[in-house]
Amino acid sequence: MAVWRENDAAWFEERMLHCALCGRMIAKRYLAASSDHHDAIFCSEDCLSLYDDYWLAERGADYRPTTDIGERYAAEMVK
Ligand SMILES: [Zn+2]
């Protein structure tokens, strides 16, 4: 289930929210989603559906890129 909510932080607070899929900083409105697999916030319904349909299916909720992801990306990119 997902509901739209607003970040109620005052303007002087440094409470930053980030989308669980794309990482975009969320200034005001965010989509709070909870299920059996995750509790997370998203910047849009597109990010939520991509998270459920691709990220969880392919990577799992606990996936984090390896620490050498930058070097691996550079090595595997077609030049
Ligand atoms: Zn997003």
pLDDT (tens digit per residue) in 20-78: 999 999 989 999 999 877 789 999 999 999 999 999 888 887 888 889 989 998 999 87
Question: What is the pLDDT at residue 36?
Answer: 78
Q: Which residue intervals of 1-79 are DSSP H helices?
A: 45-50, 56-58, 69-76
What spacing in Å lies between the alpha carbon of 47 and ligand 1's midpoint?
5
Question: What is the pLDDT at residue 62?
Answer: 83
Q: What span, in angstroms and rounded, lies between the C-alpha atoms of 66 and 64?
A: 6
Tell me whether residue 51 is exposed, middle or buried, using C-beta atoms within 10 angstroms of its C-beta: 0 to 12, 13 to 18, 19 or more: buried
Q: 38 versus 18: which is more confidently predicted?
A: 18
What spacing in Å lies between the alpha carbon of 43 and ligand 1's midpoint?
4
Number of structural domains (the chain) is 1
Q: What span, in angstroms and rounded, lies between the C-alpha atoms of 61 and 21?
A: 11
Q: Which domain covers residue 19, as residue numbers? A: 2-76
What spacing in Å lies between the alpha carbon of 26 and ligand 1's midpoint?
9
